Amino acid sequence: MRQLKRWGPGLLLVSPSIILVGVFVYGLIGRNIWTSLGRRTDYVTDRVLNPGGYLNYVQLLSDPRYHHALWNLLVLTVVFVAGTMFFGLLWALLLEKGVTAEGVFRSILLLPMAVSFIAAGVVWRWLLSPAQGADQAIGLNQLFLKLGMPGLQSAWWSDPGPFAMAAMAVPAIWQLSGYVMALFLAGFRGISDDQREAARVDGATEWRIYRHILFPQLSPVALSALIIVGHMSMKMFDLIYSIAGSNSYTAEVPATLMWIQLFPQSDPIAAATNATVLLTIVALVVIPYLVHTHRSERGDR
Amino acid sequence: MSTTELDRPDPDLTRRTTPPGRGRGQVSAGAVLRYALLVLSVVIVLVPIYVLVVTSIKDAATISTATAWDLPSKLSAAGWVSAFERLAPSMGRSLILAVVAAALSSMLGAMNGFVFSKWRFPGADIIFTMFLFGMFIPYQAVMIPLQAMLLNLPPGFDGIGKLIIVHTVYGIPICSLIFRNYYATAVPTEIIEAAKVDGAGMIRTFISVILPVSLPGFVVALIWQFTSAWNDFLFALFLTQPTNGPVTYALQELAGGQNPNYAQIFAGVLIASLPTLVVYLVLGRWFIRGLMSGSVK
């Protein structure tokens, strides 16, 4: 009873949030899974549209259109994550020792982060216009022509090849590299100067200092950045919707396919199935990360 | 915007010691390379911004594909004026949405953060981790039942009302995280113990000891929530109409379809982004802190 008196009020103060998160996150996820297992037949022809139960998942996972969307997601995620990590780390390395006007550089490199995906998508739709050649090119293709680099022209995401989604990662990299830079910069600055000094006194080269002293200490930061950027990529909807339009097959990923299933196709069961698989993919990455963070925090205490 | 604000030392990111090599009166090749790469990066990052600004102030009659990258030959405010007229009503709705949702989830976040860091109960860690999972979920996985659940709200909750509920609730995880981390480092446990010894209950302690020192936590949480509510499109698309939705939806309508008026479209992009850009430029340091807290640890 005395125990309850000690921690009861705390639980009470959190209880509104527990109820809200419980209902809006876990309750609705449960409801969505329930929807995804439903069975539905065509009113007129009696043809089975959604076979029901786990067969809905079999139907989705064996659909070539879904394979195409998954492949696009894989290409997008690999290029997006690699690109943001590369530029984020590069910029952090350029800035971390301190340069004149560092604040200005940093603010500009982070600026795209303050703009919505929808707003950025409007200008990138124009920049990534597929038209090529002196009379027709607009956007980046036209800029490349003006700069005397016609070889850089590209059909971007409209390209029929299997790696077109790599172009969709370009605006995403533009938006989020600054974020990864900020994470790495904070990581570098959390390491005391004494460690570098000691290594320098011992005669270590700058490269060896980075390789053996600084980079190992940044691996938790790199992991955080990887998880955050990776899960954003799997959820990415706004940017693709804004650039490719609401109904693009070429640039389709599971998140945009879900919208198509729900509205143009009026098939909420298939949409719920797709969303549940997407959630599972994200959960497979995020849950181990949360458990790992939780454990290492306990270790600190 | 003030550059002094940006140049001021940042407690999180700016190095306080003098960089090595400075003041020796010589410029090394490494430094030249570093600046060259930085300037190149900044130029590339600014390319879309250049296109937006330059096109938005062009006279619609003079816009042609051939001169798209050139500076305007004739200035015109027509794009900005017509875009503002189109977007103004939705800007007002977005403002209400972002302010109210940010205030509500920050308040809930402060309460939770206090408990999770200073007044823990058995199982608090598990609950907290379960909250955090809510931050990462793809919202597609709740969207279909969410639509159904919000269908039967009273008429006043149409459009922005729905979005306020949604952003408040889905903002709880990140706000709890921001406040938990803030209280864990900024408020010594001894103060709480002293208040307990004085006979103050938990609510008393929270209101008279914790809230008065919570301003930095609130600034970070409010900015974060304001920005994400303002920039959201997914919930807007699924839960509102262009006529009662936020500015992102109105911008998508303005820019979509066959609108050939690029001055108006690109001015619209800038107008719709202005509030978050101002917040970023004026309160950049706090904005960055919010970004950092998104990395869980």
Q: What is the pLDDT of residues A76-110, one digit of tens each?
A: 999 999 999 999 999 999 998 888 888 899 999 98
The pLDDT assigned to A56 comes to 96
Relative orientation angle of helices B284-293 and A102-110, to the nearest 10 degrees = 60
pLDDT, tens digit, 9 for 90 and up, residues A41-85:
988 888 889 999 999 999 999 999 999 999 999 999 999 999 999
How far is the alpha carbon of B191 from chain A, nearest alpha carbon, in Å?
Answer: 17
| A92 touches B: beta carbon within 8 Å | no
What count of Cα atoms within 13 Å lies in the side-chain half-sphere of residue B236?
Answer: 27
Please give the ipTM for the structure prediction. 0.91
Q: Tell me, what DSSP letter sits at residue B211?
A: G
Of A36-40, A184-188, A219-223, B282-286, the range with the lowest mean pLDDT is B282-286
Tell me, what's the pLDDT at B3? 30
- Smallest Cα distance from B55 to chain A, Å: 11
Q: Using alpha carbons, select from B259, B261, B266, B256 the residue that is nearest to residue B50.
A: B266
CA nearest B180: which of B118, B121, B105? B118
Interchain CB distance below 8 Å, B203 and A9? yes
Distance CA A4, CA A23 (A): 25
Q: Closest Cα of chain B to A163: distance in Å?
A: 23
Interface contact flag, B295 A183, Cβ < 8 Å: yes
Q: So what's the pLDDT on residue B70? A: 86
Identity of the residue in B7, B38, B68 whose CB atom sits nearest the CB atom of A138: B68
Q: Report the C-alpha gap between A286 and A186 in whole angstroms.
A: 22
- The torsion angle over the Cα atoms of residues A49, A53, A57 and A63, rounded to 10 degrees, is -20
**Would you tell me which residues 43-82 of chain A have a C-beta closer than 8 angstroms to some C-beta of chain B?**
none
DSSP string covering A50-104: E--TTHHHHHHHT-HHHHHHHHHHHHHHHHHHHHHHHHHHHHHHHHTT--TTHHH
Fold observed for domain A52-300: MetI-like fold (1.10.3720)
What percentage of chain A exceeds 90 in pLDDT? Answer: 58
* HSE toward the beta carbon, residue A113, CA cutoff 13 A: 26
**A-to-B residue pairs, Cβ atoms closer than 8 angstroms:** 289
Q: CB of A119 within 8 Å of any CB in chain B?
A: yes
Structurally, what CATH architecture does the domain formed by B78-293 represent?
Orthogonal Bundle (1.10)
| Closest CA of chain A from B169, distance in Å | 6
Rounded Cα distance, B99 and B232, in Å:
14
Rounded Cα distance between B140 and B246, Å, is 19
**CB contact (8 A) between residue A116 and residue B276:** yes
**Residues of chain B contacting A110 with CB distance shorter than 8 Å:** 280, 284, 288
Residues 6+ apart with CB under 8 A from B281: A107, B1, B5, B6
Residue with tokens 């039967």: B152
Strand-pairing partners, residue A50, are A40
Helix (H) or strand (E) segment spanning residue A40: strand A40-41
Neighbour tally for B203: CB within 10 Å: 12
Q: Do B138 and A282 touch (CB under 8 A)?
A: yes
pLDDT value of position B7: 33
Would you say residue B295 has pLDDT above 70?
no
> What are the residue ranges spanned by the domains of chain A?
52-300
* Per-residue pLDDT, B195: 85
The pLDDT tens digits of the residues spanning B70-109 come to 888 888 899 999 999 999 999 999 999 999 999 999 999 9
CB-CB under 8 Å, A116 with B248: yes
Confirm if A23 and B125 have CB atoms less than 8 A apart.
Answer: no
- CB-based contact A91:A173 (threshold 8 Å): no
